[in-house]
Amino acid sequence: MENKKRCAWVNEQNELYCDYHDREWGTPIRDDGPMYELFLLELFQAGLSWITILKKREAFRAAFDGFDVDKIAAYGEEKVVSLLQDAGIIRSRSKIAAAISNAKIVISLRQEFGSFCGYLWSFSNGKVVMNPETGYRATSPLSDRMSADMRRRGMRFAGSVTIHSFLQAAGIVNEHDADCFRYQEIMETLQESSVIYE
Ligand SMILES: [Zn+2]
C-alpha cells in the first residue's frame, strides 16, 4: 500500500485519512445507506476539515441512530438538546436543525425518485462525471445544478461547494488525481458509456 501513488491532498502520515481515500472517497455509491451517511457528514463538515469529521464518524453513528434517515427526520427538541450535549459530535444547533429538516426532504426525494440515490444519480443519467482538463475545482456544472435543485426543495447547507465535495466523496464525480492508483482502479470498473465529461 505504501508504494501506491495517491491524490496529492492525502496526508499519508494519517492512517485514517489514507484508508478513507483508498477505500471510500470517489468510489461510486449506489446504496442509500452509505450515501445518506456521507450526505449527513458533509453537512457537519461545512467550515471544518474533513479529518475532524472522520475522527468523529463513529460518535456521529452512535449519536444519530446509525444514520437512520427515518429516525433522524423524527427527532424532536429533546433529542436536539441531548445532541448539543454530546462532545463526540459537532455541537452546532444550526447544523443539527438542518440535518433534521434535510432528512425530511431526503424522505420526500426517496418517495418521488424511488431512492435517494435515484434522485442524486438522475442529474447525470446514472453516469460518473469527470473532467480531466479542469484540474482542481471547487464546484462543477453538476454541483451547480444539484445545489440549485436541493435549495429549491428547502435543503440547507447545500451550496455548490458542499455538494461538489459530497459528489466527489460519493463517486458521482471521479476527481482522483490522474496519477492516483484509485483513478485507474475506478475507471476499470466503468464502461466507456457510463462516464460523461463535463
Ligand atoms: Zn486518489
> What's the pLDDT score for residue 1?
52
Alpha carbon of 183 to ligand 1 centroid (Å): 6
136 is catalytic: no
pLDDT at 192: 86
Contact (Cβ atoms closer than 8 angstroms) between residue 108 and residue 135: no
193 C-alpha vs ligand 1 centroid, how far in Å? 22
Does residue 45 register a pLDDT over 90?
yes
| Cβ(156)–Cβ(101) below 8 Å | yes
Mean pLDDT for all residues in the chain:
95
DSSP-assigned letter for residue 173: B
pLDDT on residue 2: 58
Q: Find, among 43, 37, 114, the residue nearest to 69 by Cα.
A: 37
pTM above 0.85, yes or no: yes
Check 42, 121, 175, 183 and give the catalytic one.
42
Cα–ligand 1 centroid distance for 194 (angstroms): 20
Structural domains of the chain in order of their starting residue, each with its CATH number: 15-197 (1.10.340.30)
Model pLDDT, residue 87:
96
Stretch among 1-10, 90-99, 163-172, 187-196 having the lowest mean pLDDT: 1-10
Residue 25 known to be catalytic: no
Active site residue 50: yes
Q: Is the pLDDT score of 172 beyond 70?
A: yes
- pLDDT confidence of 161, banded at 50, 70, 90? very high
Q: Look at the block and give the residue holding cell 481515500.
A: 21
CA of 6 to the centre of ligand 1 (A): 5
Task: Count Cβ atoms below 10 Å from residue 8 Cβ, excluding itself.
Answer: 9
The three-state secondary structure class of 130 is strand
Grid cell for residue 129? 462525471
pLDDT higher than 80, residue 135: no
Q: Averaged over 70-82, what is the pLDDT?
A: 98
Give the containing element (helix H, strand E) for 60.
helix 50-63
Predicted pLDDT of residue 131:
85
Q: What is the pLDDT of residues 94-129, one digit of tens each?
A: 999 999 999 999 999 999 999 999 999 999 999 999
How far is Cα 95 from Cα 113, in angstroms, rounded to an integer?
26
Q: What is the pLDDT of residues 6-36, one digit of tens each?
A: 999 999 999 999 999 999 999 999 999 999 9
Which has more pLDDT, 96 or 178?
96
